[in-house]
Chain A
Amino acid sequence: QQQVKQSPQSLIVQKGGISIINCAYENTAFDYFPWYQQFPGKGPALLIAIRPDVSEKKEGRFTISFNKSAKQFSLHIMDSQPGDSATYFCAASKGAQKLVFGQGTRLTINP
């Protein structure tokens, strides 16, 4: 069973626009929610992470919004740039140990 569900599978955004990727989880014991970014030929790398005691975390153009009651969290990329084109994975863990990943979103930013 998929414990973390991610949508959409692919996303095309114009340069300067806002990219939004959504994730939903089932296990209420999850207490750590990171997003990973993967470029072609590379392994995923941590982009930003949040814990459920806050509803939002912002780092530069990247923001995580977290809704504990709905068991949902999302990644917003403001002023999207062609260099942001990559595959994005949401994930969740309990006790910050093994990570359960979503299905991934291939993001393309058109110049």
Chain B
Amino acid sequence: DVKVTQSSRYLVKRTGEKVFLECVQDMDHENMFWYRQDPGLGLRLIYFSYDVKMKEKGDIPEGYSVSREKKERFSLILESASTNQTSMYLCASSLIGLRFYFGAGTRLSVL
């Protein structure tokens, strides 16, 4: 069965901390994505990657960076967490032209 695993379901961090959100997929998919989900705003694309070592900015990349050292792992990094980054973060993977598979999400609270 297809699986996208996000390392944490809930995280609580303090303002200014560096935060790492990890995502692993077991489907050998080339494409991986990080979205942020907020009520009334839907899912907004932060960063995506079509290949190892490759990354592209999405619609809301400010305050975030990513790392993809291996095909199966895509990490989202909050360089200096701020309260406006409190949100649900969703990782997804896909083959080109096919369905997206999402992880269960990480609910991040920045205090």
Contact, CB under 8 Å: A96 / B92:
no
Question: Which of chain A's residues have a CB closer than 8 A to the CB of B40?
Answer: 9, 103-104
Contact, CB under 8 Å: B31 / A97:
yes
Contact, CB under 8 Å: A42 / B104:
yes
Q: Which of B48, B90, B99 contacts A98 (CB 8 A)?
A: B48
The SS class assigned to the A binding surface is: loop
Given A43-B103, A43-B105: A96 touches B43 (CB 8 Å cut-off): no
- Does B45 reach chain A (CB closer than 8 Å)? yes
Q: A: which residues have CB within 8 A of B?
A: 4, 6, 9, 32, 34, 36, 41-46, 49, 89, 95-104
27 CB < 8 A contacts A-B = A9-B40, A32-B97, A42-B105, A43-B4, A43-B90, A43-B102, A43-B103, A43-B104, A44-B90, A44-B100, A44-B102, A46-B100, A49-B99, A96-B96, A96-B97, A97-B31, A98-B45, A99-B45, A99-B100, A100-B59, A101-B35, A101-B44, A102-B42, A103-B40, A104-B39, A104-B42, A104-B43
